Amino acid sequence: MGTNITRRDFLNGIALTVGAAMIPPEMWAAAAADLEAQDAPGYYPPAKTGLRGDHTGSFEAMHKVRDGTFWDDAPKPADTGESYDLVVVGGGISGLAAAHYFRQAAGEKARILILENHDDFGGHAKRNEFRAGNRTILGYGGTYSIESPSPYSAVAKALIEELGIDVPSYRNYVAKDLYRSLGLRPRIFFDKEIFGADQLAINPRTTGFDESGVDESAGEAGLRAFLQDAPFSAKAKQDFQRLFRDAKDYFPGLSSEQKKGRLARMSYAQYLIDTVGVSEEIVKLYQTMPHSLFGVGIDAVSAQDAWGLGMPGFDGLKLDPSPGKGMNRDAIRSDEANKYFFHFPDGNATIARLLVRKLVPAAIPGNSATDVVLAKANYSKLDRASSPVRIRLNSTVVKVKHLGDPASAKEVEVTYFSEKKLKTVRAANCILACWHVVIPYLAPELPDKQKEALASSQKVPLLYTNVLLRNWTSFQKLSANTIYAPGMYFSATTLDLPVSIGGYQCAKKPEEPIVIHMMKAACKPGRPAREQHRLGRIQLYTTTFETYERNIREQLARILGPGGFDPARDIMEITVNRWPHGYSYEYNSLFDAFWLEGGELPCVVARQRFGRIAIANSDADAYAYTDCAIDQAYRAVQELKK
Ligand SMILES: Cc1cc2nc3c(=O)[nH]c(=O)nc-3n(C[C@H](O)[C@H](O)[C@H](O)COP(=O)(O)OP(=O)(O)OC[C@H]3O[C@@H](n4cnc5c(N)ncnc54)[C@H](O)[C@@H]3O)c2cc1C
């Protein structure tokens, strides 16, 4: 069990058809109509519960554009008369950072408009807020933490520092030993449908990384305890010990590089079955282990990446510890990167909020990276004509085009859909910081080769669910702080990381309310990764909140019931953040030949500047991390300066 469970505790073509037939035509207009205006009294999206993430009203217009039906019955665009130095499409961290860098380059008076199709800014860096009595309880609806398998670049680090975040001070805020001091340990839930019995066992961490501040290593004693509890056959128990303890060289006569080359071309599941020869029970145990990192299971993760992640079975190969060709960057860890970790109670939504505070100071009170945690954003200030930077929510950009020949045009026209109306603005520059997969539909004037590369950037569908519980005494009774459940709807359930900062207090006693996090990667094992993501995306868009809720209740009752948990009594609120367009697609040596063969990377082709339009977003370097979103924003702004 070498890998953590959450990400930290932790992955077509142009004819996109995802969900094409699944959105009833009338739904988009109705949904858009339901969206409140961002300056309406009481407008405060972080406190909304139910189905969040890609919420109703955020995606329907764009899906109609994709399906080619949007323009059939679209209202005539109205010219707002507004003109900007820069329009940014997408209010995620990349879009916000792009606005910041542009302002640094062009001066404080530069007029910038950020258009975002969701009701909140931050993109994947989403804040979920709950109330329990007089307390505000925060959760991360997407981006969990400042972390990256590779060290942050000088550019990204400088921005983090400029925002006032002192990464080394994290240790002052996290109650690192809290759960351990209460006897809580990572556990595995075996379910009877797959393993023959419902059983909670210790998670025997024998290798791997631990950056969360929660020591999860159980060593040899943990392995023994696991073998005692796991509902495994005698053969599976033997195989399991062999997997950890044997140091057999399965590829004798090959050099380390040759071995890595082989491992890059076979899945970890294949390696376990065909090379190591372990029983099927072990493969089932590990199947969903990489979900939080890759969004797919071990059927679609290469054995080389599994080796990089510290999964068992490779000791005897004596591989050179440096990364192998075609290794996914998620699987390449560096000590320097491991140390650069910071988890705010709302995850990296704090970074988004600090950026917004810089861009539109009136919208978020306070002046430090700690007081921002409890600061209440005033959404009515985000889009004021008096402010040089404006952030316009609930606005889906449907067209971006140069006014004249792209090679010489001085302006672009941006058309967006908001409040059931089509509106246009003009800008001297435009940065597309939205998902690459939508860009070919927005900007058909881009070269075909670039559009093809943009469209290949599939997103990884994920479900990040926050459940507010009245207390966590059941976790204490079962001695669990995280529960890996390979056969259940959600493969990971985790108590909130105990961080108190800026006046915010985490739950320290099991009798206190807490937010727990439940993660699901929507995928279809056995198919190529992109196909799994496509099918998973449809699943997330077509599943109702009621179904999610039922699964949450059933799963928690089943796992925590023996600890006294009662869903009707103990669940106070649920926020399901669905991310059908989640992580940026990272190249996979099993399915992307160019990744091994050293061909041109699609993300490089995709991100080229075109006339007055530059392209940012973490898709621009095929790397699903905040530092990438920042680096790509910086690059896009530099390109516009040329
Ligand atoms: C669930 C989840 C957990 C993650 N956890 C971590 C983590 O712990 N640490 C880490 O470093 N990284 C993490 N990541 C990755 C990280 O969040 C991203 O790399 C980064 O935040 C992406 O920022 P972005 O601005 O490039 O894209 P996004 O955040 O996706 O922002 C792009 C925005 O553009 C908007 N948009 C799209 N189309 C349009 C349109 N037509 N008009 C207007 N707006 C549009 C989108 O709705 C979105 O809000 C996570 C990602 C996900 C999905």
Residue 274 C-alpha from the chain's centroid: 32
**Residue 115 CA, closest ligand 1 atom number:** 43
Encoded amino acid at 272, one letter? L
Smallest CA-to-CA distance from 398 within 117, 80, 121, 54 is with: 117
Task: State whether the beta carbon of 308 lies less than 6 angstroms from ligand 1.
Answer: no
Task: State whether the beta carbon of 125 lies less than 6 angstroms from ligand 1.
Answer: yes
Task: State whether the beta carbon of 476 lies less than 6 angstroms from ligand 1.
Answer: no
Cα 203 from Cα 221, distance rounded (Å): 11
Token readout for 22 is: 């699944």
Q: Out of 59, 292, 393, 434, give the residue to mutate to test ligand 1, the one with the largest number of ligand atoms within 8 Å of its CB.
A: 434
Q: Which residues of 309-321 are buried (b: 16+ CB within 10 A; e: fewer)?
A: bbbbbbbebebee
Task: State whether the beta carbon of 95 lies less than 6 angstroms from ligand 1.
Answer: yes
Task: State whether the beta carbon of 414 lies less than 6 angstroms from ligand 1.
Answer: no
Cα 423 from Cα 435, distance rounded (Å): 21
- Nearest protein CA to atom 33 of ligand 1, as residue: 90
Cα 361 from Cα 11, distance rounded (Å): 35
Cα 343 from Cα 409, distance rounded (Å): 44
Task: State whether the beta carbon of 70 lies less than 6 angstroms from ligand 1.
Answer: no
**Residue 577 CA, closest ligand 1 atom number:** 1
Residue 590 C-alpha from the chain's centroid: 22
Cα 17 from Cα 290, distance rounded (Å): 27
Q: Which residues of 120-129 are buried (b: 16+ CB within 10 A; e: fewer)?
A: bbbbbbbbbb
582 CA distance to ligand 1 centroid (A)? Answer: 7
Q: Which residues of 407-424 are buried (b: 16+ CB within 10 A; e: fewer)?
A: eebebbbbbbbbeeebbe
Low-confidence ranges of the chain (pLDDT < 70): 1-34, 205-218
Determine what percent of the chain is predicted with pLDDT higher than 70: 93
In the prediction, which pLDDT does 218 show?
Answer: 52
Phi, psi (degrees; rounded to nearest 5) at 433: -105, 20
243-270 tens-digit pLDDT: 988 899 999 999 999 999 999 999 999 9
Cα 226 from Cα 285, distance rounded (Å): 12
488-522 tens-digit pLDDT: 999 999 999 999 999 999 999 999 999 999 999 99
Token readout for 140 is: 């991360």
Contacts of 169 (CB under 8 A, 6+ apart): none
625 CA distance to ligand 1 centroid (A)? Answer: 9
DSSP structural state of residue 499: B
In the prediction, which pLDDT does 7 show?
Answer: 37
CA distances from 206 to 241, 278, 337, 434 (A): 12, 18, 21, 40
Encoded amino acid at 430, one letter? C
Task: State whether the beta carbon of 143 lies less than 6 angstroms from ligand 1.
Answer: yes
Task: State whether the beta carbon of 429 lies less than 6 angstroms from ligand 1.
Answer: no
Q: Are 330 and 11 in contact (CB under 8 A)?
A: yes
Token readout for 49 is: 């519960």
**Residue 54 CA, closest ligand 1 atom number:** 47
Smallest CA-to-CA distance from 412 within 424, 439, 430 is with: 430
Alpha helix segments (H runs only) across 405-527: 439-442, 448-455, 473-477
Task: State whether the beta carbon of 462 lies less than 6 angstroms from ligand 1.
Answer: yes
Task: State whether the beta carbon of 633 lies less than 6 angstroms from ligand 1.
Answer: no
Q: Are 199 and 230 in contact (CB under 8 A)?
A: yes
Q: Are 579 and 53 in contact (CB under 8 A)?
A: yes
Strands 571-584 and 459-469 turn out to be antiparallel
Phi, psi (degrees; rounded to nearest 5) at 255: -75, 165
Query: Scanning the structure block, which residue is given the tokens 């469209």?
Result: 455
Cα 246 from Cα 487, distance rounded (Å): 27
Token readout for 434 is: 């939205």
Q: Are 459 and 501 in contact (CB under 8 A)?
A: no
- Nearest protein CA to atom 48 of ligand 1, as residue: 123
- Nearest protein CA to atom 4 of ligand 1, as residue: 143
257 CA distance to ligand 1 centroid (A)? Answer: 35
CA distances from 426 to 79, 400, 413, 418 (A): 9, 10, 5, 16
DSSP structural state of residue 222: H
State which H helix or E strand residue 148 sits in: none
Query: What length does the chain have?
Result: 642
- Torsion 571-575-579-584 (CA) sign: negative
Task: State whether the beta carbon of 147 lies less than 6 angstroms from ligand 1.
Answer: yes
**Residue 464 CA, closest ligand 1 atom number:** 1
147 CA distance to ligand 1 centroid (A)? Answer: 15
Strands 185-190 and 480-484 turn out to be parallel
